[in-house]
Structure 1
Amino acid sequence: MPYRAWFQCIAGCDEKYKLNEIIYHCKKCGNLLEVVHDLDQLRKHDAKYWKDLLDARYLRTKWPYGSSVWGKKEFVCPQVKNENVVSLYEGGSNLFWAERLGKELGIENIWIKQCGNSHTGSFKDLGMTVLVSMVKQMISEGKKIPAVACASTGDTSAALAAYCAAAGIPSIVFLPKDKVSLAQLIQPIANGALTLSIDTDFDGCMKLVREVCLKNNIYLANSMNSLRIEGQKTISVEIVQQFDWEVPDVIVVPGGNLGNTSAIGKGFLIMEAMGITNKRPRIVCAQAAKANPLYLSYLTGFKEFKPIKAQKTLASAIQIGDPVSYQKAINILKKFDGIVEQATEDELANAAAQADKTGLFSCPHTGVALAVLKKLLEKKKIKAHEKVVVISTAHGLKFTEFKINYHENKLKEVTPRFANLPVSVPPSYEAVKTAILEKFEGFSL
């Protein structure tokens, strides 16, 4: 069946462009583009057909459908030929029932979608597989693309470098100097990317990479390129699939450049259009208080949006004051009874640590989402009986310095309420016994 998709202006222009065209903005009005699918073709099959097909493919071995992104190829990126798919079998990440944490927060049904359990340790893999596959497709068609580039606060660069390495395509990453963790910095280096450490912030890197790509026909891989959104929207489909095709009540997602906020909504919208679901969750965008332009816009009812100068935050991947996808995110939040809330440095650090003590290992951005969830529970904007999914965007192992500094009480503006340092003891039974008894109240040996 000839499934089709194309780029179309988000502002409602009639302008349409092919997916293999190197374009990021509407030529008519300058707005961002989005990928639009031929729904008439998709609707020729009913919901049962799609559910059965997706379940049959999920995490199996037939190329490339075992990938939780490419298992949904028909409504992600149908134009890429299977031989040009660049996949590391991304997706299929754990949906963790955080029962103990829920009891502490006063909510019955909280789940953590652990997108960090992916090849490069973040949700960015889901979008990058689509983008790099389309680049490989275009190269196979004769287009001259010397390299793919991105500005990044860490995770995007890791995903781009890994997928380009797998495809044999040169990659270039623009990183703000001293603003990404060492674990994030080493990933593109290890995968052979040209890694540029630039003495500016993410917004400065974004300005530079756009100029370099425009002038040199290098393909831009940031989330303003809506091919990325097509892969990331599969998070929503996967969540519903893991819940046996039931839609949760609330999704809480950290927000920086805001591509993932729009992607989450888009995933639910296409399932609704295909008849797979008939309910929309509320979407909550969680921002760090030091990088909160969308939150400030939300306070005005989204009547205005003003970029800000983001301050240094522990949630470094969302330290973005001029997010590219703000209009897409606003459009989605309006359709999903959306809420935007913020979290301070103290709130996000302690929320991450509290989650860790119940079996998780949370990145600081997940800490932002968890802190916001706690606030909204206290404000009764989220009810204790609702089924809530928190999007955990990256693996905690990328942020070991953050965790070490938390437990050693070295983080500014943070009072570590869950600090847990090693206990030094001499090599004797009595010393070990004493340490155990001091640690666990009511414990007997």
Structure 2
Amino acid sequence: MKLVCIDCGQEMSSNDFIYHCTCGGLLDIVHDFHNYDADFLKHLFNERLAERMTPYASGVWRYKELICPELPEDCIVTKYEGNTGLYSSELIQRYTGLNQVSLKAQSENPSGSFKDNGMTVAVSHGKYLGYKNFTCTSTGNTSSSLAMYASIAHANSYVFVPNKDISINKVLQTIAYGSHVFSISGTYDDGIQFLEKYSSDLGLYVCNSINPFRIEGQKSIVYEIAQYLNWDLPDWIIVPGGALSNATALGKGLHDLFTLGFIEKMPRVAIVQADGACPFHKMIAQEKNELTPELRPYTRASAMNIGNPPSWKKAMHIIRQTNGITISVKDDEILDAKAIIDKSGIGCEPASAATVAGLRNLVSQRVIDKEESALCILTGNMLKDTDALNEYHFGESNHSTFKNALHPTSLAYDTIKKYIL
């Protein structure tokens, strides 16, 4: 296992831990899988499904050999993350126009988001290196996940969150786990730049997506999907795009599975961004090779409210590697899709619903054929942003297509009977 710069190709030991190459490029972890036996590993991973109360009961560490094989077991910090549900819904099928669609509910993770898959590996690696102080900048999900794992590891966490356009639920969750939270006047992107500049001097281990070990952990999402589907993946995988770490990890995991012979075909990847924060989609749509940051991004799907995604180069590689595409959707489309996902009994936060909104558009535009199969990754729990629920169902907006209002009424039989279907 070694670190390799995605820009210049310089190689270095994974023990010489840094976030950037001397050329400024991000680093990627490269494994030597040459002596790996796919059939043996499939059997091993299936056996570990029966594990209880060991690191291998985790839906991440079940795949330790493909993620961080050299990490000592006593350094693993886990809350048995992963193992999240894979669902189908007739309501979602009708809404998207696709008969074969399923949802991977990463919202069922311990802290309520997909960030746990990567954070368990990042914090475990930091513990292995001897760090006691961990940090991130966040729109909410990363911070709450880091705060949880740092507390489990008896370590300190210091997180930086923008002072506007984020969900207070996520901030409260982070505070409740005991983190030191700094509400900054800048954006997510400003926070990343600060940590890149000062984290080393401050002795802080950065747990954002610039950390390649976090990406390794997030690969487990697609490993788990593949194992649940008996190593037969759908034609399309749809993922929301904010910092683009999830898309990066998804593509990296797909490459691993295909290279090792776990899967016979490579699904196409679609990255969905919100209209108000879609610098990556604009770059791909305009066939450019450099991303132009958006200085004032805004979307109601706060987890995607990122104007300068740090992992855009890695995500661009994944789009090319999987013959993938990007799309942007309106906030109203995101919130309507969320209402449908919620009503289906699965539920999610707004950013997650961008996947279903994007899939619906791609089917209507005939980019995805109605006979193809697709899987949408839901990244966060529906209670991560209760303001969005309140505004959609109880607010005065005329754009809430599936509003489900309260029924103020007297407690009388004849009155109640009128509401019973």
The structure having more radius of gyration, on CA atoms, is: 1
Separation in structure 2 between the aligned mates of residue 68 and residue 19 of structure 1, nearest angstrom: 23
Hey, what does 1:416 align to over in structure 2? 400
Q: Does the CA-based 8 Å contact 1:7-1:35 persist in structure 2? A: yes
2:67 to 59, 72, 76: 76
2:212 is aligned with 1:217? no
Residue 425, structure 1, aligned to residue 409, structure 2: yes
Matches within 5 A, 1:185-224: 185-224=171-210
* Equivalence map 1:147-296=2 (5 Å): 147-296=133-282
Q: Is the 8 A contact 1:87 1:129 kept in 2?
A: yes
Residues of 2 paired with 1:334 and 1:173: CA distance? 34
Q: Deviations over 1:331-356 (max 9, x none)?
A: 01001111100011111111111222
| Residues 368-383 of structure 1 aligned to structure 2 (within 5 Å) | 368-383=354-369
RMSD (Å), alpha carbons: 1.4
Quote how far apart the aligned CAs of 1:362 are: 2.1
Task: Give 1:70 shift.
Answer: 0.6
- CA change 1:427–1:146 in 2 (3 A) is closer
Q: Deviations over 1:400-438 (max 9, x none)?
A: 110111012345xx60010011111112111111233xx
3-state SS of paired residue (1:125): helix
Shift of 1:12: 4.7
For residues 156 and 344 of structure 2, what CA distance do their matches in structure 1 show?
41
Displacement of 1:194 in angstroms is 0.7
Note if contact 2:104-2:377 (Cα within 8 Å) is conserved in structure 1: yes
Q: What SS class does the counterpart of residue 383 from structure 1 fall into?
A: coil
State the partner residue of 1:336: 322
Q: CA offsets per residue over residues 167-190 of structure 1, 9 Å max, x none?
A: 011110000013322220112211
Match in the other structure for 1:142: none
* Structure 1 contact 174–209 (Cα < 8 Å) conserved: no
Out of 40, 48, 52, which is 2:34 matched to?
A: 40
Report the secondary structure of 1:41's partner residue: coil
CA distance, structure 1, for counterparts of residue 127 and residue 192 of structure 2: 23
1:308-319 correspondence runs (5 A): 308-319=294-305
Q: Is the 8 A contact 1:120 1:159 kept in 2?
A: yes
- The answer (yes or no) to whether the contact 2:3–2:28 under 8 Å persists in 1 is yes
C-alpha displacement of 1:393? 0.3
CA contact (8 A) 1:50 1:276 kept: no
Matched, 1:25 2:14: no
Distance in 1, Cα, partners of 2:248 & 2:50: 25
Measure how far apart 1:211 and its partner are: 2.6
Q: Distance in 2 between matches of 1:59 and 1:423?
A: 46
Displacement, 1:59?
5.5
Quote the sequence identity (%): 34
- Preserved CA contact (<8 Å) 1:302 1:330: no
SS in 2 for 1:284: strand
Paired residues of 1:293 and 1:321 also in contact (CA < 8 A)? yes
Q: How many residues align?
A: 421
Question: 2: distance between equivalents of 1:429 and 1:309?
Answer: 57
What letter is aligned with 1:100?
Answer: L
Pairing partner for 2:379 from 369, 393, 399: 393
Cα deviation for residue 364 of structure 1 reads 0.4
- Any unmatched runs of 5+ in structure 2? none
Structure 1 residue runs of 5 or longer lacking an equivalent are: 140-144, 441-445
Which of 102, 108, 122 in structure 2 is aligned with 1:117? Answer: 108
Letter in 2 for 1:433: K
Letter in 2 for 1:417: T
What is aligned with 2:11? 16
- Partner Cα distance (1:66, 1:12) in 2: 38
RCO higher in 1 or 2 (8 Å CA, sep ≥ 6)?
2
State the distance in 2 between where 1:253 and 1:10 align: 22
**CA pair 302-235 structure 1, distance change in 2 beyond 3 A:** farther
What's the CA shift for 1:367? 1.8
Aligned equivalents of 1:152 and 1:210: distance in 2? 14
Give 1:359 shift.
Answer: 2.2
Give the aligned residue type for 2:379. Answer: T
Measure the CA separation in 1 of the matches of 2:415 and 2:286: 60
